[in-house]
Each structure stands twice: as C-alpha cells, then as structure tokens.
Copies of this chain bind each other. A is one copy, B any other.
C-alpha cells in the first residue's frame, strides 16, 4: 500500500516534523543515528555492527560510536552473541520503542495537520 504525496506535501511534512523535533527533542540524534535506530526497530533481527555498517554504507566505527551514544541514552542495548563470540547483537529496548512510537505519532499528527 503505497503513500502518494505531492511535492508540497512531501516537503511540507518533512518541514513540520523536523521543526517540531528541533523544538522538542533535546537528544538531537544525527541523521545517521536516526537511520540506525529505525533500521534496528523496523527490520527483523538480528542486527550486527557489520550488518548495519553495510546497510548504511558507512564504516564500522561509525556504528560503534552511534551505539555508544544511543546506548547511553537507553535507546538500544548490546549483547555478545554466545554462538559466535566475535559478534555483538544489538537489542531493542522499551525506551527505544517508546521513543520511536512517539516519533511516529509526531509524523502522523503533522501529516494530518498539513493544510497546503
């Protein structure tokens, strides 16, 4: 089920959501961090550092650093893979799920309020 948007709607939606996010959220995730977070929560696990790096097209330290930051914020968690102890499996958290749920609501509401 596709979403059909006009150029005005597309940019207007992005505008209002971005604006609201800047005004409200002190955490201020970077674009990369946001992409990683959404990937973790919207794509079926397991997620690894290597996998995320490949998906985003960035180097592994970028992922490590983003996980450090978002881990400190409680948005994600890291667990060593016991079957292959070289791997780290990235886990979702309740707080992270809540964060994205609120963010989704923000998008929906701003979309609803679009009057162009």
Contact = CB atoms under 8 A, between A and B. Distances in A.
Interface of A: 1-7, 9-15, 18-19, 21-23, 28-32, 34-35, 38-39, 41-42, 55-58, 100-101, 103-105, 107-108, 111-116
Candidate in A11, A39, A100 with the most chain B CB atoms within 10 angstroms: A11
B19 A35 contact: yes
**A interface, over-half SS:** helix
B104 A7 contact: yes
A10 B111 contact: yes
B2 A108 contact: no
Contacts of A39: 15, 19
Given A4-B111, A5-B107, 8 more contacts: A2-B114, A3-B111, A7-B108, A11-B100, A15-B35, A18-B35, A21-B31, A23-B57
